[in-house]
Amino acid sequence: MKEYVTHEFGPFYQTDSKILILGSIPSKQSRIQGFYYGHPKNRFWKVLATVLNEPIPISIDDKKALLTRNKIALWDVLASCEIHGSSDSSITNPIPNDIVSLMKQCQIKKIYTTGKKSYQLYQKYCYPTTKIEAIYLPSTSPANCKKGIEQELINAYQKIKETLYLE
């Protein structure tokens, strides 16, 4: 059964953030924790830390510090939607976040999306106003657990590090 979900916490950013990483909408675990990529089996933090040559953050404060040091902002494409559990493929009635308002508060140069659904939603609802092409990154969700995926994720997420070095 689908439930109506609203984004319960705001974007994480600093005024000097240069990269914006967007998911679709927080998972149940993330909503419980009050921060992004909160499911213990989600590989986002491990992959990002590996790519950035940082220790894997454990606490929310550690995660925020990693993002701050690397000028990375996090948010989600959607402010609300109907969803079954945490299944992006079940999303209906999406309402997008105002990405442009966030971009006015920092120095975003590149936008990345984690997963196919967030990319599709960004392209449909946000690109027309941001005019910045999103760069697709594969999902780090535990639902995307085929063999060898962790190295594939690390290879794909290298784009973030390359962007940081271009600045």
Residue of 149, 114, 108 whose CA lies nearest to 135 = 114
Residue of 47, 44, 48, 52 whose CA lies nearest to 23 = 44
Report how far residue 161's alpha carbon sits from residue 9's, in angstroms, rounded to the nearest whole number: 26
Q: Is 155 a catalytic residue?
A: no
Of the residues 42, 93, 97, 155, only one is catalytic, namely 42
Residue of 22, 25, 50, 9 whose CA lies nearest to 132 = 22
Q: What separation in angstroms does the CA of 43 have from each of 17, 24, 126?
A: 22, 16, 26
Coil, strand or helix at 118: helix
* The pair of three-digit structure tokens given for residue 42, joined into one six-digit string: 């989600």
Catalytic residues: 42
